[in-house]
A and B are shown apart, each in its own frame.
Chain A
Amino acid sequence: MNLHLKVWRQAGPDTQGRLVDYEAQNIHTDMSFLEMLDVVNEDLIKKGEDPIAFDSDCREGICGTCGCVVNGVPHGPDRGTTVCQLHMRRFKDGDTIVIEPWRARAFPILKDLVVDRTALDKIISAGGYTSINVGAAPDGNAILVPKEASDEAMNFAACIGCGACVAACKNASAALFTSAKVSHLALLPQGQVERDLRVVAMVETMDAAGFGACSNEGECEAVCPKGIKIEGIARMNREYLRASVVPRPMPQGAFAG
Chain B
Amino acid sequence: MSRRPGFLSSSVGTKILIAITGLLLFGFLIGHLVGNLQLLAGDGGKAFNIYAYRLERLHYLLYAIELGLIAIFLLHIFKAVSNYLGNQHARPQAYAVKKPAGHTSQKSLASTSMILSGLTVFVFVVLHVRMFKYTPAEMLPTGEGTEMRNVYQLVVDAFQNPWIVGFYVLAVSLLGLHLSHGLASAMQSLGANAPGWTTRAWATGRVIAVVLAAGFAALPLYMFFAF
Direct A/B contact, Cβ within 8 angstroms = yes
Q: Which residues in A have some Cβ–Cβ distance to B below 8 Å?
A: 6, 8, 19, 69, 71-74, 79, 98, 100, 103-106, 152, 168, 170-173, 175, 200, 203-204, 206-207, 210-219, 221-223, 229-231, 233-241, 244-245, 247
Question: Among the listed stretches B68-76, B87-95, B146-154, B218-226, which one makes contact with chain A, having 4 or more residues with CB under 8 Å of it?
Answer: B87-95
B42 interface contact, C-beta 8 A = no
B86 interface contact, C-beta 8 A = yes
Can you list 8 A-B contacts (CB < 8 A)?
A: A71-B99, A103-B94, A171-B87, A203-B10, A212-B86, A215-B114, A230-B198, A234-B188
Contact indicator B11/A173 (Cβ below 8 Å): yes
Contact A244 B7, CB 8 Å, known A19-B96, A216-B188, A219-B105: yes
Contact A241 B16, CB 8 Å, known A103-B95, A216-B185: yes
A103-B95, A215-B111, A216-B111 given; 4 more Cβ-contact pairs under 8 Å: A170-B112, A171-B91, A223-B101, A234-B187
Contact A213 B107, CB 8 Å, known A72-B95, A105-B92, A244-B4: no
Shortest Cβ gap from B73 to chain A (Å): 20
Contact A106 B12, CB 8 Å, known A217-B111, A221-B104: no
Contact indicator B4/A200 (Cβ below 8 Å): yes
Contact indicator A238/B191 (Cβ below 8 Å): yes
Q: Which residues in B have some Cβ–Cβ distance to A below 8 Å?
A: 1-4, 6-7, 10-16, 83, 86-87, 89-107, 111-112, 114, 181, 184-185, 187-198
Shortest Cβ gap from B124 to chain A (Å): 23
Q: Chain A residues near B90 (CB, 8 Å)?
A: 104-106, 171-173, 210-212
Shortest Cβ gap from A207 to chain B (Å): 5
Q: Chain A residues near B3 (CB, 8 Å)?
A: 244, 247
Q: In the complex, what residue of chain A is closest to B16 when comparing beta carbons?
A: A241
Selected contact of A100 from candidates B2, B97, B187, B196, CB within 8 Å: B97
Contact indicator B106/A213 (Cβ below 8 Å): no
Q: Chain A residues near B193 (CB, 8 Å)?
A: 230-231, 234
Contact indicator A237/B16 (Cβ below 8 Å): yes
Complex CA gap A115/B97 in Å reads 18
Contact indicator A236/B98 (Cβ below 8 Å): no
Q: Chain A residues near B96 (CB, 8 Å)?
A: 6, 8, 19, 98, 100
Selected contact of A231 from candidates B83, B185, B197, CB within 8 Å: B197
Complex CA gap A73/B102 in Å reads 10
Complex CA gap A241/B94 in Å reads 32
Q: Chain B residues near A8 (CB, 8 Å)?
A: 96
Complex CA gap A204/B7 in Å reads 9
Contact A234 B2, CB 8 Å, known A73-B101, A216-B106, A217-B107: no
Q: In the complex, what residue of chain B is closest to A233 when comparing beta carbons?
A: B188
Q: Chain A residues near B87 (CB, 8 Å)?
A: 170-173, 212-213, 215
Contact indicator A222/B195 (Cβ below 8 Å): no
Complex CA gap A100/B184 in Å reads 32
Complex CA gap A104/B95 in Å reads 10
Contact indicator A98/B86 (Cβ below 8 Å): no
Which 4 A-B residue pairs are closest in the complex by CB-CB distance? Answer: A238-B191, A212-B90, A72-B99, A234-B193
Contact A235 B98, CB 8 Å, known A105-B90, A215-B185, A216-B111: no
